[in-house]
Amino acid sequence: MRRLAKFIGIAAMGCGLSACAGPQDELSAISPQAFSQRSGQEQQPGQEARPPSGYLAFCDRNPGECRVPRGQPGQIAFNDDVWATLEKVNIVVNNAVRPMDDSDHYGVTEFWTVPVDGEGDCEDYVLAKRKMLVLLGLPPSALRITVVVNNRFERHAVLTVVTTQADYVLDNARDDILPTQKVDYHWVERQDPASATGWRSLEPR
């Protein structure tokens, strides 16, 4: 964890996967047929969605982490420097944090937090990556926490980065970064600053 804390400090100066199976009330029932839909379809905006309860509790404890300044761009101009930053942050966090289920870690089913103790589940990886990228100057409105279901029918969270070239996925399940169209997940919902709730369903209407 010292490596992660050091990296966050540098960024500030310069400006377990199975644990992610969450409460059933966070998601509508997912059937195997849902995986017949691929990323290009699910990314079409749906209706406004209720934010995950773990996210709401995190924001209650850390309002500054969830406040998005007005006038922030909704996408990032893609270039080599941006790509290098995304790769660096994704690998650093993936290597610095050890997967641990919230039930074992905190004694509760769902607890979102920046993993300052070096242990966490998928949402914690996402929050750490988002925090680092914001400290490195990327706009929060283009860094969107996204809820998916993986091929084991488990709830999972990733960070999608909206750029002028594509939406890219930063995932603790892999060190390489792929566009959403090449990631085999069922997309459920993600943050959307244009939505009144701040979240939008990615399910078909």
What three-state secondary structure class fits 98? strand
- Cα dist from 97 to 62, 68, 71, 120, 176, whole Å: 20, 26, 33, 7, 17
Query: Do 30 and 86 form a contact (C-beta atoms < 8 A)?
Result: no
pTM: 0.81
pLDDT at site 4:
57
Contacts of 106 (CB under 8 A, 6+ apart): none
Top pLDDT among 194 and 21 is at 194
Domain map (residue ranges) of the chain = 2-201
pLDDT tens by residue, 48-84: 999 999 999 999 999 999 887 788 899 999 999 999 9
Please identify, in words, the CATH class of the domain defined by 2-201.
Answer: alpha beta
